[in-house]
Structure formats: C-alpha cells, structure tokens
Amino acid sequence: MAQSYSSSDIKNILEEKYRLFNQKTFIENDPICIPHSFSRKEDIEISAFLTSTIAWGNRKSIINNAKKMMLLLENSPYDFIINHTTEDLKKIKHFSHRTFNIEDFLNFIHCLKSLYLNHGGLEQVFSLKQNHEQNLAAFPSYFFEGFDHLRTFKHVAKIDSGSAAKRLNMFLRWMVRKDDFGVDFGIWHNINMANLFIPLDVHSGRSARSLGLLHRKQNDWKAVLELTVALRSFDSKDPVKYDFSLFGMGVMEKII
C-alpha cells in the first residue's frame, strides 16, 4: 500500500529528485549517451530512435549493442540510411539485442529510409496531427508503410492495442524536452513538451504507485494516461521532466 503523502509533499519529492538526477553525469551510464555522440540533427534522432528501440534489459548491454548498431551504420546513421547500397547491407551479417535481431535491424533501415524519403523524417511524422496521442497511434502505420515485416512489427509499440509505448515516449522525451541541464536534446520544435506522455516502465510505475500517483495495476496505456494527468498537476508545461524523478527513485536509489 502506498504511503500517504500530501500534494505539496509529492511535488517537493518530485522536484528534489528531478534536480538530483537531471544532470549531465546521468548521460554516461544511460542509453541517451548514444545520440549524445552526434551533432547533426538527423544523426541524433536516428541514433536515438534505434537506441530507444532496444532499450529494455540491462542498461550496459543496451549501450554496448547500440554502439554496435552505430558502427554497422558506419557512425553516420543518416547518411547510411539514405545512401546505403545492397552491398552495404550485405556486410551487416550479425546483430542482436534480446529479440531484436539482424532481420529486424535491416528492416528498420529500410523503413527509416522510406520514412525520410516519403514523409520528411521522424519529426515530421510525429507532427502530422494536432493531437499528440493520435500521432503516437498513427506512427506504426507510417513506419511500416509498404512493408510486410511481420516479425518486426512487435518492435514498434501500438498504443491502440494498449501498449504503454515506454520506448517511444522515452525517445520523444529525448527529442522534445528542453531545459538548462543538457540531458534531453530539445531539437524538435513541432511538438509541445506539455503534450508528452510519461515513459512508463516497471521502475517508474513502482515509484509512482509508492507516491500515490498511479492506482492502475497494469503498466499499460491507460496507466500512462492516468500518471501523465497526475504529473501535469505539478507542472503543466513540462510533466515528463518527472521521468527523471520516478526512474531515479526506482533504479538509482532502489528505494521502492
């Protein structure tokens, strides 16, 4: 059972932990270090998207395998995605992270190329509709448009099927949020960070429930909506900044 906290107590805890964990020292041991190794906008967003796609499991393993992906893309992800040849793809013979394997990786390369050539890229696709939730729901259709990658479909979350879409929401936090601390990039300007949804996983979910912010037991899309609404009551302009707080409490401090 969650301990009883007042609203002011919860806000103080969230703000304290936000300032504690939203520091550049956080970058080195988090998957966000991968896109931080690039400076070109397209390289940042593509490396961030691929890294967030495999962001489950041990963080060290995520980082190591994301680095392998970047090496396979010749450390120029955008140029490789757009200009690769059949021979370039034949050189990519081995890759896996958990259930994301070489077939999925090659499929993602094809889909990303199509997305940039036909729809203007990742930021454009996530900005097509006024409603951010509708953009999240529509993204898988745009990403896999014209492709029949049945086994790869599972690696892009579908919120209309109830998925919490933790990795997509984390990717969007990285791209959209902008503050003075330098962890998140804030390089996308077509999405208001007030409209972002919390990247909900087992760690942030436990932290949120311990504070009485989340009552739904499943970590699904309904839980994401419930928790995001609660967090907006503390900062309506930047609710997902508290991802640092909830994740940090659950993983860094291991207090839950």
| Residue range 159-192, pLDDT digits in tens | 999 999 999 999 999 999 999 999 999 999 999 9
158: enclosing H helix or E strand: none
Distance CA 244, CA 126 (A): 23
What is the predicted pLDDT for the residue at 78?
98
**57: buried, middle or exposed (CB in 10 Å: 19+, 13-18, 0-12)?**
exposed
What is the predicted pLDDT for the residue at 54?
98
What is the predicted pLDDT for the residue at 123?
98
pLDDT at 1 over 90: no
Segment 204-231 mean pLDDT: 97
Distance CA 224, CA 214 (A): 9
Distance CA 51, CA 35 (A): 8
What is the predicted pLDDT for the residue at 254?
54
pLDDT at 40 over 70: yes
Chain centroid to Cα 208, Å, comes to 19
Q: What is the pTM of this model?
A: 0.95
**Distances in whole angstroms, Cα of residue 8 to Cα of each of 5, 16, 98, 152, 212:** 8, 12, 41, 44, 13
What is the predicted pLDDT for the residue at 256?
41
Question: Count of alpha carbons within 13 Å of 147, Cβ hemisphere only?
Answer: 22
- Determine the straight-line distance between the first and last CA of the chain, rounded to whole angstroms: 12
What is the predicted pLDDT for the residue at 3?
66
The rounded percent of the chain whose pLDDT value lies above 90 is 93
The pair of structure tokens assigned to 27 is 């970058």
What is the predicted pLDDT for the residue at 156?
97
**28: buried, middle or exposed (CB in 10 Å: 19+, 13-18, 0-12)?**
exposed
Which tens digits make up the pLDDT trace of 109-144? 999 999 999 999 999 999 999 899 999 999 999 999
Alpha helices (runs of H) in 177-242, residue ranges in sequence order: 202-210, 221-232
